[in-house]
Structure 1
Amino acid sequence: VGPYIAVAELLGTVATQLLSGQLTTIDLSFFGEIAEHDVTPLKAFAIRGLLRPISEQNVNLVNATSIAEARGWTIDERLRASHEEFHNLIELRVGSSEAQVTVSGTASHSRPTIVRINDLDIDIVPDPNGFLLVCENEDRPGMIGSLGTLLGSRDINISAMRVGRSSPRGQALMVLMVDDEPDADALDLIAAVEGIATARLVRL
């Protein structure tokens, strides 16, 4: 399960920053060969990832579950022998009174890879020194260009981008890996672009 420790922590770090409201529930599903092993370390590092952006608590194998329970989080764990698409996969679903977010990941060539956000295929390998810009938007011409132009005008470099969509001209999700952290003004400008519903920054 070695390479999947980093995957579990990454999923937690991303999910907690995409979720609106105070986290209350955690559902972890493990698919494939990793489900045949002790997943306690994976669960601990997922919790560590969830806490890293919002707390300075030192989370480890011994105290992860107790820290989560002390915060009132409920944790469900599922083990599945296989997945229809991936040899091994971790799916993390977190919920609050306001929303629910699901982030799925695997290890591709031993690198943590996000393959799905909220049931939309993404497939991006985040740079641990970079930032993710995650935008919910309408799937229509000009969206990518508008966002690229705006970021370029703020001297923010895009190193990778993926788009997941439910259907042509339907709802879509743009995930951009950027080298530089957009400031609050830049995020406000992005959110104000016609066709963009939400824009969230994920610090890795």
Structure 2
Amino acid sequence: VDILTLHVPKTKETTGMIDREVLKALGTKGYLVNAARGGIVLEKDLLWALDNKLIAGAAIDTFETEPKPNAALIKHDNVYCSPHIGASTLEAQIAIGHTVADQIGKALEGGVVDYHVNLPEVGVIDQPIMKAYSTLAEKLGSLVGQILDFNPQSVQFQYRGDISELDNSIIRLSWMKGYLNKVVDDYVSFVNVGRHMDRLGIKVDEKVDPGFSSYNSALKILVRGAQGQQMTVGGVVFENRHLRLTLINDFHFEVEPTGNMLLIANHDRPGVIGDVGQYLAKSNVNISGFNLSRNVKGGMAMAVVSIDQTLSPQNLKDLKSLPNVEVAKAIWI
């Protein structure tokens, strides 16, 4: 006697994989057992095989249509049924309890649970690289929400390198959540970010670049306004845990996006760094990191300054009044 048992998830690849050809190959002494998922077996083909005595019988715990399965199938003399109770063993119930506790912890911390019922756009987030890039994306969204000076009309997500071959929906949702938390007054969650974006009239599209080779993976976001305005931010993750802000418009950095930061845009002239440092020192603001970038010699420069405390509106006004300084904005991530 041959017995074919199914123990696979229901995916695009497994849906309908047990059809007439498989059942005929099982043979007249063969039995089929499906305790996996409904839809993996084509039930019309199974009923055909049973009626024509091409297999000896079947045992089914999951069906294509529940709670009303195919009546002809469950009444068949050679079919043994159970009402989808595969998860009712003691071991399964203990595992479910551990899973529920773990998911409650994620939800309370503001994360995305792995087995959601109201977030259909996202699959199970089971790869460290996706968890890391979703965190980076939320931080980049928060940054954009704090420094953008125009109303965005569209956002393009560019997935580069290894992450371009994965399901990046959680990255997209995370960026939206980070951005919207800074620009709307209503409650923002992974569930409702799409509605918020629609309400703001912001269109979203995505682009992949698997041939990107500067890093193993990278994320780039392009924000456009109705009047031709444009802003670009980007970042990378090293070793699935070290998050770095690497791009703001034409300026390249390698900054850990965390805590209080000061963004300075200025004409590339001597003395600006000294003026900014002296002002912060006089204001008793300690600098913990200073990252400087310029597009061309004598053109524009940008600095991302990590600091130990928040700046007041007066601090920002004073900094902007310094010679050659065009922009001074506070960021908290």
Does residue 125 in structure 1 map to residue 250 in structure 2? no
1:52 counterpart SS class: helix
The residue identity in structure 1 corresponding to 2:189 is V
Structure 1 residue 126, shift from structure 2 partner: 2.3
Match of 2:211 in 1: 82
Pairing partner for 2:232 from 96, 102, 122? 102
Structure 1 residue 84, shift from structure 2 partner: 3.8
Q: Is the 8 A contact 1:13 1:50 kept in 2?
A: yes
**Distance in 2, Cα, partners of 1:155 & 1:126:** 22
CA-based RMSD? 1.5
Pairing partner for 1:184 from 310, 313, 316? 313
Does residue 24 in structure 1 map to residue 153 in structure 2? yes
Pairing partner for 1:52 from 163, 168, 181? 181
**Distance in 1, Cα, partners of 2:211 & 2:136:** 18
Choose 93-102 or 143-152, whichever is displaced more: 93-102
Match of 1:136 in 2: 265
Task: Tell me the TM-score normalised to structure 1 length.
Answer: 0.92
The residue identity in structure 1 corresponding to 2:141 is G
Instruction: Structure 2 unaligned segments of length 5 or more: list them.
Output: 1-129
**Distance in 2, Cα, partners of 1:100 & 1:156:** 32
1:187 counterpart SS class: helix
Does residue 114 in structure 1 map to residue 245 in structure 2? yes
1:182 counterpart SS class: coil
Structure 1 residue 64, shift from structure 2 partner: 2.6
Query: Rg: which structure is higher?
Result: 2
Match of 2:220 in 1: 91
**How many matched pairs?**
201
Structure 1 residue 175, shift from structure 2 partner: 0.9
Q: Is the 8 A contact 2:157 2:206 kept in 1?
A: yes
Pairing partner for 2:138 from 2, 6, 9? 9
Q: Deviations over 1:135-183 (max 9, x none)?
A: 1111122111110010111111111111111122221111111111110
Match of 2:323 in 1: 194
Which structure carries more relative contact order (alpha carbon 8 Å, separation 6+)?
Answer: 1
Moved segments of 4+, more than 4 Å: none
Structure 1 residue 63, shift from structure 2 partner: 3.0
**Distance in 1, Cα, partners of 2:238 & 2:167:** 21
Q: Is the 8 A contact 1:135 1:197 kept in 2?
A: yes
**Distance in 2, Cα, partners of 1:33 & 1:108:** 12
The residue identity in structure 2 corresponding to 1:116 is L
**Distance in 1, Cα, partners of 2:133 & 2:181:** 17
Task: Give the share of equivalent positions with the same residue, in percent.
Answer: 24
Pairing partner for 2:201 from 64, 67, 72? 72
The residue identity in structure 1 corresponding to 2:166 is H
Structure 1 residue 65, shift from structure 2 partner: 2.2
Q: Is the 8 A contact 1:19 1:96 kept in 2?
A: no
The residue identity in structure 1 corresponding to 2:133 is Y
The residue identity in structure 2 corresponding to 1:27 is Q
